[in-house]
């Protein structure tokens, strides 16, 4: 009976840690996406929904772009600071600080 190593024999035997880290960084960079450019109408719509959530405690879903990846947060707006350009989103009992420049979309839940 022939006993071989199966798929293991086709994998490279000696990878340097630096080489492996570089390959991981390349695969992560391939998955990154560009930040979408928002026009005036989209800015106004985002501002309207955020202020509505602040005044009427309506839950919203915020799409955030950070370092090439999109993240989604849900909650109710607790505070909007236009001077420092951030908003506080109350989500599951904790406050999340979100920069206004990172927001790409907002929708009501």
What are the pLDDT tens digits along the chain (109 aa)? 666 666 665 556 556 778 878 888 999 999 999 999 999 999 999 999 999 999 999 999 999 999 999 999 999 999 999 899 999 999 988 999 999 999 999 999 8
Give the domain ranges of the chain.
40-108
Look up the CATH architecture of domain 40-108.
Roll (2.30)
The kind and range of the H/E element at 27 are: helix 17-31
Structure tokens at 78: 């607790």
Provide the whole-model pTM: 0.75
Q: What integer pLDDT is reported at residue 2 of this predicted model?
A: 64
Radius of gyration of the chain from Cα atoms? Answer: 22
Q: Which of 56, 57, 66 is nearest to 97 (CA)?
A: 66
Q: What integer pLDDT is reported at residue 10 of this predicted model?
A: 59
């Amino acid at each position: 009976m022939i006993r071989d190593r199966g798929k293991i024999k086709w994998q490279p035997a000696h990878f340097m840690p630096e080489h492996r880290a570089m390959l991981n960084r390349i695969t992560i960079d391939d998955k990154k996406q560009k930040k979408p450019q928002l026009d005036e109408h989209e800015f106004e719509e985002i501002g309207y929904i955020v202020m509505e959530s602040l005044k009427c405690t309506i839950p919203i879903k915020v799409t955030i772009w950070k370092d090439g990846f999109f993240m989604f947060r849900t909650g109710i707006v607790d505070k909007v600071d236009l001077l420092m350009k951030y908003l506080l989103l109350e989500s599951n009992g904790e406050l999340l600080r979100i920069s206004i420049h990172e927001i790409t979309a907002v929708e009501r839940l």
